[in-house]
Amino acid sequence: MKTISENASFGGTQGVYSHASTACNCEMTFGLFLPAEARDGPVPVLWYLSGLTCTHENAMNKAGAQAWAAEHGIAVVFPDTSPRGDDVADDEAYDLGKGAGFYVNATQDPWKPHFQMWDYIAEELPTFLGAHFALDMDRQGITGHSMGGHGALTLAMNLPGRFLSVSAFAPIANPTSSDWGRKQLTAYLGEDDAKWAKHDASLLMADVGFDGPVLIDQGAADQFLDLLKPEALAAALASKRQQGSFRMQPAYDHSYFFVSTFMEDHVAFHAEALYGG
């Protein structure tokens, strides 16, 4: 592991680290906020998965999570959104390739050699974090924005028992029915749409749901509403009688101004679950 930077933040430490990833076959970088309590022993963990075009830095610098995480004694992990490097496949479009890993394991070329983001987030990075930092990996929550909201929801529902809580800001909620989602799922997973279902939060919610609380915030003025399809997820939450809340926030768009406005609510929501209510 390489330490890129460590800065004092709200009584704790905001670090940036890199390591050689076996899953993604390249060097991967992540941010990790550790509250002051981590000096005395393991603390609960909140994952924040970022959206299209982002690196580990966007949410780390813009979401305002550290202040609220410090208040509750929670660590926050900010992974990158895709593999990186000169030999990693890319695309001219912003919604495919570097910065757009979509939190899946690619089965198609040219993406397959590096784009194994599901294994990286679900298996490799948690194991690495647990071995190197004072984190209680039995108490994990997960959240994310846009593509990251998609990843947070699909990981939480596909890994029962892993996360005690899940939330999302403006998630890509029904990618199998969106021109946006279908493009990426086809590129990474191939033409057989039966293989896409485990990566669609609305389908998963209607089918299996989540064994814990769910919080979704969506801006009503989001410029990507037609691509995100939040109505499908809201309907699935209702049909499943899922424990949770779907909140449509008037006037808010897709930006980090939206995310930072409601970050306090989301961290408090996860803290309640991580500390046993």
Q: Which residues are the active-site residues? A: 146, 222, 254
Q: Please answer whether residues 124 and 23 qualify as being in contact, where contact means their C-beta atoms are separated by less than 8 angstroms.
A: yes
What would you report as the CA-atom Rg of the chain, rounded to the nearest whole angstrom? 17
Q: Judging by DSSP bridges, how do beta strands 75-79 and 43-49 pair with one another?
A: parallel
How far is C-alpha 202 from the chain's CA centre? Answer: 16
Pairing state between β 214-219 and 244-249: parallel
Q: How far is CA 215 from CA 34, 90, 100, 137, 199, in A?
A: 24, 33, 24, 21, 18
Total residue length of the chain = 277
Q: Six-digit token pair at 262?
A: 């409601």
Query: Which tokens in the block code for residue 79?
Result: 């992974």
DSSP string, 125-179: HHHHHHHHS-EEEEEEEEEEBTHHHHHHHHHHHHSTTT-SEEEEES----GGGSH
Per residue in 10-35, is it b (16+ CB within 10 Å) or e — as a string?
eebbbbbbbeebebbbbebbbbbbbb
- Three-state SS at 2: strand
Distance between CA atoms of residues 34 and 39, nearest Å: 9
Helix axis angle for 256-274 and 65-72, nearest 10°, is: 10
